[in-house]
Amino acid sequence: MVERVFITGVGSISPVGLTIDETWSSLTKGVSGIDTISSFDSEGYETTIAAEATDFDPQNYLDRKQAKRMDRFVQLAAAASLEALEKSGLTIDKTNEERISVMVASGIGGIITLSEQIGVLNSRGPNRVSPFLVPMMLPDMASGQVSMLLGAKGANYCTVSACASGADSIGMAFEAIRRGDVDGAIAGGAEAAICPVGVAGFNACQALSKRNNDPQTASRPFDKDRDGFVLGEGAGVLVLENESSINARGAEPIAEMIGYGATADAYHITQPGPEGEGGARAMNIALGKAHILPEEIDYINAHGTSTPLNDKFETMAMKSVFGKYAYDIPISSTKSMTGHLLGASGALEAAITVMALKNQTVPPTINLKNQDPDCDLDYTPGSNRKLPLTKAMSNSFGFGGHNASLIFQNPS
């Protein structure tokens, strides 16, 4: 028997809020989290803006010793996971610890720690490199540390599929629960790559917006004047459980997850496949697993990076999947407000999609002032919309040609 999978808890740290409720409130108001970089001196860089979680203090969630032994991306993951678990009401103890999995992804891992310790190596020599360098930089350490923090002893790993990492993590947790491998999972993604080498690296491959004089309008998905994405940081985490688990404790689910599709473009290291063919296949696979028709989707949270090719080809992919109905679906790119959280983006946007269903509200795409003729769908420009929503999709596409699509519906 295939298990049904429900979402019972949501947690996030984002550039627009330190809880999922704060994040959701900011998004529905069209608040941008993008500003001049404050975490390091960016003078001389082509891009001097980013979407930082500026008010995040790890010691509000962890003791000082714990926090010092975690890279920032792990701290973000821990905070979001603690919130998600608290909101779910799930207790992890001796009765279920071996049946609860943790799958928290990161596309890049501890790049801040790695770059800092390379500086130590170069300036002070090999004997001064921190013994915590390796366990702080590994991408799997968000998942590992969260499992230790929560006491979850089920399967524990980190998916690394660039900007699809967080979505793939949730998708793999969904599949594991459906198979009966585990009863529940803490799944999502975390990223913190706003540091000198992170910004310089993305500038070198011409991926970032250079709209430095007007940070809050720099991320403008589907706009004719878009010039690249804005680097963001944060974490998004969902608690997923099977039906037996929620029934046993009388939990009220927020949403049900019903579909997951993943594909590869097999085309280019950074560019999406022509006409979004790989993304279209991921959406079709997700729809097939959900056993629903394309016309049943009421909302799409697009990948919508604000890069020229991604937005154009994602639009083409949606037209390929939904046909004429594509013009009737409200779509939004919340990256217009949060920036691009890389490996955490799919997880945060899955959380936002769940909140859209819960609140029967489509968040806006801000900064869409001059719509690209090649991007001619309904991207919910400017302000949110209250609409009856039953089923919603969240898309994530990553460097290397990774594509993931998730589908959620109202619980029944």
303 is catalytic: yes
Distances from the Cα of 380 to the Cα of 21, 329, 366, 392, angstroms: 21, 10, 8, 15
Of 158, 205, 291, 303, the active-site residue reads: 303
Give the DSSP letter of residue 163.
B
Only one residue has tokens 């821990």, namely 78
Tokens representing 372 are 């690209």
DSSP state of 323: G
Cα distance between residue 35 and residue 223, in whole Å: 20
Find residue 362's DSSP bridge partners: 385
Domains of the chain: 5-249 (3.40.47.10), 259-409 (3.40.47.10)
Backbone angles phi, psi at 405, to 5 degrees: -135, 130
Q: Report pLDDT for 22.
A: 98
Write down the catalytic residue from 195, 340, 375, 402: 340
Rounded Cα distance, 141 and 351, in Å: 21
Q: What is the pLDDT of residues 334-382, one digit of tens each?
A: 999 999 999 999 999 999 999 999 999 999 999 999 999 999 999 999 9
**Catalytic residue from among 158, 163, 195, 375:** 163
What confidence score (pLDDT) does residue 163 get? 97
**Residues in the chain with pLDDT < 50?**
none
pLDDT at 1: 72
Instruction: Report the predicted TM-score, pTM, of the whole model to 2 decimal places.
Output: 0.97
163 is catalytic: yes
